[in-house]
Amino acid sequence: MILVSMAAGFLLILMGLYGALTNRNILRMIVAFTIASTGVNLVLVSVGYLAGRTAPILDAAVPVADAAERIIDPVPQALVLTAIVIGLGITALMLAYAFKLYETKRTLDISKFTELKG
C-alpha cells in the first residue's frame, strides 16, 4: 500500500516535471507543477504512514497515553499541510504572473519571453 502510494507520488512528480519541461504554454506549465507538487505531497504522506495505525489526532479514540503506539508519525502530516499551503501560494503567484505576462505580450508561450539572456 505504501509502495503503491509512493510509486503513484513519484509517477505524478515525473509526469509533472515532464509536463513542465515540455509544454511551452505557461498555464500548462503551472498545471504540470501543480501535479508534481501533488505527487510530492503524496510521497510525503506515504513516507510518514505506518501500516495499521491511525491518524495522529489525539481525541477520545486515541488517548494521549498510548498515542505513541497507535498513531502514525505526525511530522510528515504537518509537513504536508504546510507544503500544500505554500504550494497554493506559489501557484497563485505564478498564475498572477501568467496573467500579467499575457497582458504584456498577448501570448502564453514561454519561449516568447526571452528579452533577457546571455
Partner 1 sequence: MSPILIIAIGLGTAFLLAFLDNRLRATAYAITLVALAVMSWIAADWLFALSSGSTGPVEIFTAGTKPPFAINLRMGLAEAALTLLITVTGLLAAVFLKEPMMRLGRRSMAVLLIATMSFAGIVLTRDVFNLFVFFELAVISTGGLVLLSDDARALSAGFKYLIVSQVISILLLIGIIFLYHAGGSLNIDDLAAASAAGNSTVLLKSGALAFFLLFIALVAELKPFPANGWALDIYESAHPAFSAIFSAAAGAASLYAVDKALLIGGPAWLPVATAIGLSTFVAANVLALSQTSDRRLLGYSSVAQIGLVFAVIGQKDLLGDQYLFIAGGILLAHAVAKAGLYWLSGTLPERALTSWAELKHHPVLLFAFASFVAMLVGLPPFPGFYAKWQLAHALAADGRYLVLGLILLGALIEAGYLFRWFGYALKREAPAQQVDLSLHKIGVVLIAVAAGWGLGYLWGDLSGLGNVLTALPLLFALSFLALDWLPAKVKNAIAIAGLVAWFLVSYPGYDPLRLIFGVIILIGGAVILLASFETHGRRIGFYPSAMLMYAGLAMLIVAEDSFGFFAAWEILTLGSYFLILRGKKSEPHALSYIVFSLGGAFAILAGFAVAAQGTQPFALQGLADVSATFAPYVFILLAAGFMTKTAAIGLHIWLPGAHAEAETDVSPMVSGILLKAGLYGFFILLMTMGKTQFYGVELTYVLLWIGALSALLGNLMAIFQEDAKRLLAYSSIGQMGYALFGLALMNHLGWLMALMFVINHYVYKSMLFLSVGGIAKRTGTKLMYRMGGLITLMPLSFIAVLVGIIAMSGVPPLSGFGGRWIFYNAIMSSDARLPMVIIFLSGPIAFLYLFRLIHTIFLGQLKDEHRRLKEAPFWIVLPQMLFVAFLIGFAIFPGLALRRVDAYLGSFFPSHGLAWEGLTITSEYGYWSPVSIMIVVAVIFVVLLAWLVFLNHRAQKVKQFNIVFAAERPYRPETTHFAWNFFAPYRKALGFLTEPLVTRFWGGITGTLHGTADLTRRFYTGDGQVYAFHFVGFVVIVYLLSMGVRP
Binding site for partner 1 (CB under 8 A): 13, 16-17, 20-21, 24, 26, 29, 33, 36-37, 40, 43-44, 47-48, 75-76, 79, 82-83, 86, 89-90, 93-94, 97-98, 100-101, 104, 110-111, 113-118
Rounded Cα distance, 75 and 101, in Å: 38
- C-alpha dist (Å) from residue 31 to 23, 67, 88: 10, 39, 12
Q: How far is the CB of 63 from partner 1 (least distance, A)?
A: 18
Helical axes 74-105 vs 26-48, angle rounded to 10° = 180
Q: In this complex, which beta carbon is closest to partner 1, that of residue 8 or of residue 90?
A: 90
Q: In this complex, which beta carbon is closest to partner 1, that of residue 65 or of residue 89?
A: 89
Q: How far is the CB of 94 from partner 1 (least distance, A)?
A: 5
CB atoms within 10 A of CB 41: 20
Q: In this complex, which beta carbon is closest to partner 1, that of residue 48 or of residue 70?
A: 48
Rounded Cα distance, 42 and 89, in Å: 18
Q: How far is the CB of 67 from partner 1 (least distance, A)?
A: 12
